[in-house]
Amino acid sequence: MVEADKIYKSRSTGVIISPIGSGEGTFSLGGEELEELRELSPELEGKEKHVPIIKVEGNRVTVNVGAIDHPMEEDHYIEFIQLLKNEKVVAEKRLYPGDKPRAIFIVDDTSDLRAREFCNLHGLWSSE
């Protein structure tokens, strides 16, 4: 089963894909079945470097990657930050080397939010 808002990656090419819709079957690219990336949790690392930290002020939601900013260098950086509600992606920001490892979103309902981010070297990390 391919599920919407999950993140899949090709081991051979590094291509990352997140489908908008769900469906039966598997997800492949060039004959290679893509693997679903598992989210790593704060328990694995504490809150030092990869864990997204959410701060809510009114309807403004700031997500920072790491209590200490994660590096944003050419060979090691955060590729995207997503905001999720009930396991659905409600907002996303793409990031590039040189950017701050942070995203600011304006949302109508700030309840039950969580965030996740993807480091090009260390994988997918969740705020929970």
Which of 34, 65, 103, 119 is in the footprint of Fe ion by CB under 5 A?
119
**Phi/psi of residue 84, nearest 5 degrees:** -125, 145
Which of 102, 110, 95 lies closest to 53, judged by CA? 102
- Measure Cα distances from 41 to 31, 50, 53, 120 in Å: 31, 9, 12, 16
Rounded to the nearest whole angstrom, what is the least distance from the CB of residue 111 to Fe ion in the complex? 29
| Closer Cβ to Fe ion, 33 or 99, answer by number | 99
What is the size of the binding site for Fe ion (CB under 5 A)? 3
The yes or no reply on residue 80 touching Fe ion (CB under 5 A) is: no
Which of 2, 37, 122, 123 is in the footprint of Fe ion by CB under 5 A?
122
Q: Are 97 and 120 in contact (CB under 8 A)?
A: no
Q: Which residues bind Fe ion (CB under 5 A)?
A: 119, 121-122
